[in-house]
Amino acid sequence: MYSNILVPIAFDDERDVSQALNVARKLLDEGGKITAIHVREHLPSYATEYLTKEQMEGNRAQLVNGLLEKTGNSPDIDVVVVEGRSGHRILEEAERREADLIVIASHCPSVQDYFLGSTAARVVRHAKCCVHVVR
């Protein structure tokens, strides 16, 4: 089926990470790889000027540990934390890693999503590979 699957993971409570990971595992070819990715929003310079390098690295380490926890510390899943705007970075990482599938969790859309667009909708519209949306 798919040999290189990217699974974006958000840290909000309303999304079920296990469901997206289960779908990814079912669609994964033997010998393939799954990469769980979290996009940390870019912090504005007025905030980062008050943070030390150690604090920034500590925050990144916490995010990596959180990803490991959400993925069940599974040895068959690589975890990656990147910075930027979620929709754009997911698409960039999918291309950079030559992903052939993105499995992304989505919530049920509200009226606000129709005007502003959700991350999942942006990924579906612009991905150059297959996208599987899990609700």
Residue positions counted in the chain: 135
Is pLDDT above 70 for 7?
yes
- Among residues 134, 113, 130, the alpha carbon closest in space to that of 5 is found at 130
Percent above pLDDT 90 for the chain:
65
Residue ranges covered by each domain of the chain: 2-134
Check residue 93 and give left, alpha or beta (phi > 0: left; psi -120 to 50: alpha).
alpha
- pLDDT in the model for residue 24: 97
Helix (H, G, I), strand (E, B) or coil at 107: coil
Q: How crowded is residue 115: how many other Cβ atoms within 10 Å of its Cβ?
A: 7
Name residue 83's beta-bridge partners: 40
Confidence of residue 131 (pLDDT cuts 50, 70, 90): very high
Separation of alpha carbons 133 and 135, rounded Å: 7
37: left (phi over 0), alpha (psi -120 to 50) or beta: beta
CATH node for 2-134: 3.40.50.620
**What pLDDT does residue 50 have?**
85
Over residues 44-54, the mean pLDDT reads 84
Query: Do 70 and 17 form a contact (C-beta atoms < 8 A)?
Result: yes
In which band, very low, low, confident or very high, does the pLDDT at 45 lie, cut at 50, 70 and 90? Answer: confident
- Cα of 34 vs its chain's centroid, Å: 11
The answer to whether the beta carbons of residues 16 and 105 sit under 8 Å apart is yes
Q: pLDDT band for position 53 (50/70/90)?
A: confident
Q: What pLDDT is stored for residue 112 in this prediction?
A: 57
Q: Percent of the chain beyond pLDDT 70? A: 90
Q: Each residue of 54-101: pLDDT tens digit?
A: 998 999 999 999 999 999 999 889 999 999 999 999 999 999 999 999
Question: Residue 35's pLDDT is what?
Answer: 98
Identity of the residue numbered 31: G
3-state class (DSSP) for residue 129: coil
Would you state the pLDDT for residue 44? 82
